[in-house]
Copies of this chain bind each other. A is one copy, B any other.
Amino acid sequence: MNNTIHIVPVILSRANFGRSKSLLHELKSDKRFKLSIISGASAVVDRFGEANKFIESSGFSVSHKIQCLIDSSTNEAQALTMSIATMQLTGILAKLNPDAVIVVADRYETLAISIAASFQNIPLIHIQGGEISGNIDDKVRNANTALSDFHFTATKKSKDRVIRMGANPKKVFNVGCPSLDLLNKRNLVKRNLAEINHLGVGANIDFRQPYILVSQHSVTTEVEQSKEYMNQIIHACNQFPLQKVLIWPNSDAGTGGISKSIRLFRDSGINISSWRFITAVPPDLYANLLKHSACLVGNSSSFIRESAFLGTPSVIIGNRQQNREIGKNVTLSRNSKKEIISAIKKQLHHGPYKVDMLYGNGKSGKEMKKIILKNFSS
């Protein structure tokens, strides 16, 4: 045990897990590493899909679970959640004293991870720095970069940006987006999609027929409008006689508005027979769902990254992702029913696109492991 490299990944939302799963798998199956996974925030809360279950059912054991999510759809709650997470993670990391901590991407809670590690001089590895999206996410992502020691970026441009921000170029590595690793698998076949009908409530989806996948998160700088934005999307999608699978939003400021829009639509009983509503999907099943969708609609970043690699037609709505690098498969739309309808029409007419390696080649996990091994072996 003496010379194992002790790594602590911290997973505070369902997205964090998909973005690090392939790396965690590599580390877990290599005896030179010791893995202590911490999960917390919405990832341990039932009504946000409890991603923690997926971590454990994927064969990982979770060493610490932290409760820190403030129950409120306000911006204030995000800052409070972050502060509580910082307090709890600080104590746990002080005791574990690992060789490195892993933080993923740009959600507001992730800054707690970066502070708890960097303030205690524990080397910090950041996955997916250097991107530009829009929203508060840019600020958090760049703050994570500022506090990190090692950087795994998903694109060449991102790598350049991280270096321009002052990072040591020898510690910045463009490895692609690890969520793409899950798309390389042979089991992304339609018949496995049947499991979806065991999740959530609503219509039983016939996966031999086309379906729209909808996933819309709150723009935390436009909290007030979140409900109206979601209304536009629902009514736009209802113009198409296709089946719809909707994923409930993450726990952000403004999520309350999105949820209210969905709940009111569901309770209205009007035009709901073609919809299925799901709180969360395990990463591999989600990859499969992305692959076979006729069209993706919303502002999930997976509708840009994974979809580029898969060639799935995608309609990205509003400001949340406005500045990201996008592939040809993406059409941008404003928050307007009319524009959304026209974008979906265009995409359904076009059908699948060619594979685009903009966000990597699906082998990030292996490469990151190699780099970590090289840098942390004594």
Contacts and interface: CB of A to CB of B under 8 A. Distances in A.
A264 to B, nearest CB: 10
A281 B297 CA distance: 38
Given A84-B87, A121-B221, A143-B143, A72 B67 contact: yes
A164 interface: yes
Contact of A146 (B64, B72, B139): B139
A139 B115 CA distance: 10
Interface string A32-74: 0000000000101111000000000000000010111111111
A256 interface: yes
Most B CB atoms within 10 A — which of A73, A88, A92, A256? A88
Given A119-B75, A164-B164, A66 B83 contact: no
How many copies make up the complex? Answer: 4
A109 to B, nearest CB: 10
Contacts of A94: 74, 76
Interface string A93-122: 011000000000000100110111011110
B67 A69 contact: no
Interface in A199-229: 201, 220-221
Interface of A: 42, 44-47, 64, 66-80, 82-84, 86-88, 90-92, 94-95, 108, 111-112, 114-116, 118-121, 132, 136, 138-140, 142-143, 145-147, 161, 164-166, 201, 220-221, 251, 256, 267
